[in-house]
């Protein structure tokens, strides 16, 4: 049987080489169909990889609480006449809120408060603006930070508000180019901080920085949150300047203080993703009570946002893949049409083979193998074209594309299947020819 298949394959290849131009034009539908499928799968894999990298940046099983400066009251009561409703007092998002969430709500692993301050970084004649971030011991676990050298903040650093810091890789490169940063001091604002650790470099694209609203962690300086509150600024404390700003009136309307929140962000790590929604609901009610029914905070669940984005991209990729698959169907129909025409052109050849002892199975194998060969060659060329298209898409549109081995295997299987499916009918028609009639055919 194997010898018969090889013999008929050689005959099929000879027939293809006798009509090289027609065979190439026949395979164009398969070439572009496979190339389109390869490119679409590469875009889908790139989108999936991008989602995973975004989840790593935002952290797994995290809930983010952000302050809202504009107050929105949770319960609205009807007002009588022109009598305006009095503004309710709210302390804003505070370190006490973070402590209460961590100690009260079940299934919460830890809470990481953040205070971000734009400041001037100075050292050895170098100066540039940067961000000083007040954090606790859990901050570096929220997004899987890694330490390149030095140590994390210890209990003494955190409780005694020590003037120490951990710097990002970019800060270490720019301000300590010729000497090790550990134990050295760097000036942030009006205070000199001692470097106790350096973080490993994190690869963050501009797209992720803009899309996720995150900072370039490599250029941040981290200090204990109590150091930030005691040695820099605590927005929860009312100062003389705040009172004067509040007392200032324009057109009889009292001007509000700007940002009164002690924290700029609070990240809550939940033990398992199945508890995220319930923890978020309980936390929302707790914060509403603690803030005197003033909704001056926003609770964000990154996992749900990213899952929704993934579903949207999957639907988009399915639609594009379906459109690309139409090219394969059209290519298969083209193969069937050309093979039917080939059968009509080669009726005399078929009759001679049958008269010389070839069986109907030999004729079927010849034409099926011819169709499969055209389809597979088109598939191989389509794979290379698809890889080139993927490279071009990533190069010129900055959309991440990843060509996987699975997509190449799928393309081979699809090419073989198209050739087999659309070559079977012409092969059957060829095998049904009457040898006597075929020999008389002109």
Each of the 442 residues of the chain gets a pLDDT tens digit; together they read: 677 677 667 777 777 777 777 778 777 878 888 888 888 878 777 776 666 565 555 556 788 898 887 654 455 444 444 444 456 788 889 999 999 999 999 989 899 999 999 999 999 888 888 899 999 998 888 777 889 999 999 999 999 999 999 999 999 999 998 889 999 999 998 899 999 999 998 776 555 545 445 567 888 999 999 999 999 988 877 665 655 555 554 444 444 556 788 899 898 988 877 788 888 899 999 999 999 888 888 888 876 655 666 666 666 667 766 766 776 777 778 777 777 777 766 667 777 777 777 777 877 787 788 888 888 888 888 889 989 988 888 888 877 788 878 778 877 787 788 878 877 777 777 667 666 555 555 5
| Contact in structure between 113 and 106 (CB atoms under 8 Å) | no
| Contact in structure between 269 and 61 (CB atoms under 8 Å) | yes
Write down the pLDDT at residue 153. Answer: 93
CA dist., res. 320 & res. 322, Å (int): 5
> With b meaning 16 or more CB within 10 Å and e meaning fewer, what string describes 363-388?
bbbbbbbbbbbbbbbbbbbbbebbbe
Going 78 to 79 to 81 to 82, the CA torsion angle's sign is negative
pTM of the model: 0.58
Query: How many of the other CB atoms lie within 10 Å of CB of 5?
Result: 12
Least Cα distance to 35 among 381, 319, 395 occurs for: 381
3-state secondary structure of 253: strand
Write down the pLDDT at residue 386. Answer: 87
CA dist., res. 185 & res. 281, Å (int): 44
């Amino acid at each position: 049987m194997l010898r018969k298949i090889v013999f008929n394959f050689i005959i099929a290849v000879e027939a293809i080489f006798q009509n090289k131009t027609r065979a190439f034009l026949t395979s164009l539908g398969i070439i572009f169909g496979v190339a389109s499928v390869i490119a679409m799968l590469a875009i889908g894999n790139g989108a999936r990889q991008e989602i995973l990298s975004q989840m790593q940046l935002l952290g797994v099983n995290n809930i983010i609480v952000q302050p809202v400066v504009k107050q929105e009251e949770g319960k609205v009561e009807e007002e009588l006449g022109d009598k305006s409703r009095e503004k309710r007092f709210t302390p804003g998002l505070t370190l006490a809120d973070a402590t209460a969430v961590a100690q009260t709500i079940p299934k919460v692993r830890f809470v990481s408060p953040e205070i971000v301050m734009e400041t001037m970084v100075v050292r050895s004649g170098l100066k540039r603006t940067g961000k000083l971030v007040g954090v606790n011991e859990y901050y570096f676990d929220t997004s899987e930070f890694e330490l390149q050298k030095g140590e994390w903040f210890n209990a003494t650093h955190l409780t005694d508000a020590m003037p120490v810091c951990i710097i990002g890789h970019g800060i270490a490169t720019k301000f300590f180019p010729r000497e090790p940063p550990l134990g050295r001091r760097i000036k942030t604002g009006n205070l000199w901080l001692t470097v106790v650790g350096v973080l490993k470099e994190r690869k963050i694209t501009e797209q992720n920085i803009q899309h996720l609203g995150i900072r370039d962690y490599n250029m941040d300086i981290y200090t204990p949150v109590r150091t930030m509150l005691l040695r820099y600024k605590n927005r929860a404390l009312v100062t003389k300047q705040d009172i004067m700003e509040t007392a200032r009136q324009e057109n009889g309307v009292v001007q509000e203080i700007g940002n009164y929140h002690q924290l700029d962000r609070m990240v809550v790590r939940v033990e398992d993703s199945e508890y995220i929604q319930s923890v978020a609901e309980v936390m929302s009610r707790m914060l509403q009570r603690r803030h005197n029914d003033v909704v001056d905070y926003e609770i964000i669940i990154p996992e749900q946002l990213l899952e929704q984005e993934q579903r949207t991209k999957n639907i988009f990729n399915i639609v594009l893949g379906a459109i690309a698959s139409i090219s394969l169907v059209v290519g298969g129909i083209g193969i069937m049409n050309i093979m039917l025409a080939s059968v009509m052109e080669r009726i005399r050849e078929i009759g001679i083979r049958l008269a010389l002892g070839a069986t109907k199975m030999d004729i079927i194998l010849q034409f099926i193998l011819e169709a499969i060969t055209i389809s597979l060659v088109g598939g191989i060329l389509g794979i290379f074209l698809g890889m080139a298209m993927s490279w071009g898409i990533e190069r010129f549109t900055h959309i991440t594309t990843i060509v996987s081995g699975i997509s190449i295997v799928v393309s081979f299987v699809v090419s073989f299947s198209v050739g087999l499916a659309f070559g079977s009918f012409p092969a059957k028609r060829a095998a049904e020819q009457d040898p006597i009639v075929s020999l008389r055919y002109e």
